[in-house]
Amino acid sequence: MVFAADLKLQEQEAVAAFLANGSQESFRALFEALYPKLVRYFVVRGMELPVAEELAQDVLMTTYQHANSLRQKECFFGWLFRVAGNRHLQYLRQRKRKIETVGLTPNSVRGLKRGETSAFERESDFQYWMDLLEPVERQIMMLRYSEELGYQEIATALGIPLGTVKWKIFSAKERLSAELGVGKRSGDTDL
C-alpha cells in the first residue's frame, strides 16, 4: 500500500532530479509522478477525463520545455499550477461553451442500500460547499486541500501575496464553519 506521504516524497524526488539535470529519464519519472495529480486538477474543475488527460500532457510538455527558465526551484509546484491554471483558462476561452449539467437528485441514483452515499452525493456536497465561496477563495481552497500545495506555492501559482492566501483560507474556513454550524456554542468561552 502506498501512502500519501510516500507519494509526496516520490513527487519531490522526481522534481528535484528533473530540475537538477533535465534529462529524458528524469522527465519520465516526473511525468509518472505528476500526471495523475494534474489529471485530477482538471477533472475537479469540470473537464471530462480525455480532455483532462490532454491538458495534463500539455502542462507537462510545457514543464519539460521551460523548467530551465524557473528562477526559484523551490517554487516549482506553484509555477506548475500556474501553468495548469493558464492552460485551463486557455482551453475554456478556445471552447467558449458552458459545461452542461444534468439535474439529478440523490433519489435518482439507483442501486444504493439504505444509508450508503453515492459518489454523486459526495461530489455534489463538495460542489455545494465550494459554491458558497468566492471564486478566488474556491480556487485557493482547491489548491490547498485538493492539490495539497503550501501557502507560498499557492501565492506563486495565483500571483498574489502570501498574506492574501492566508487570509483567504482563514476567511473561507470561517464562512464554511458558519454554514456547517460548527464553532462556538452558547456557553462556550475562550480561555
User: Concatenated DSSP letters for 11-24?
Assistant: HHHHHHHHHHH--H
pLDDT computed for residue 167 by the predictor: 93
Domains and their CATH numbers in the chain: 1-96 (1.10.1740.10), 116-180 (1.10.10.10)
CA dist 175 → 4, 19, 45, 75, 138 (Å): 28, 39, 21, 29, 12
Q: Which three cell numbers stand for residue 160?
A: 498574489
pLDDT computed for residue 25 by the predictor: 92
- One digit per residue, the tens of pLDDT, for the chain of length 191 reads 557 777 788 889 999 999 998 888 999 999 999 999 999 999 988 889 999 999 999 999 999 999 888 888 888 999 999 999 999 989 988 887 544 444 444 444 344 344 444 444 445 567 777 788 888 888 898 888 878 888 998 988 888 999 999 999 998 888 888 887 765 544 444 43
CA dist 13 → 29, 32, 163 (Å): 9, 12, 29
Considering only CA atoms, give the Rg of the chain. Answer: 19
Distant-in-sequence, close-in-space partners of 34: CB < 8 Å, separation ≥ 6 = 11, 14, 15, 60, 63, 80
Q: How far apart are CA 123 and CA 129, in angstroms?
A: 10
pTM over cut 0.95: no
For residue 65, which amino acid is it?
A: Q
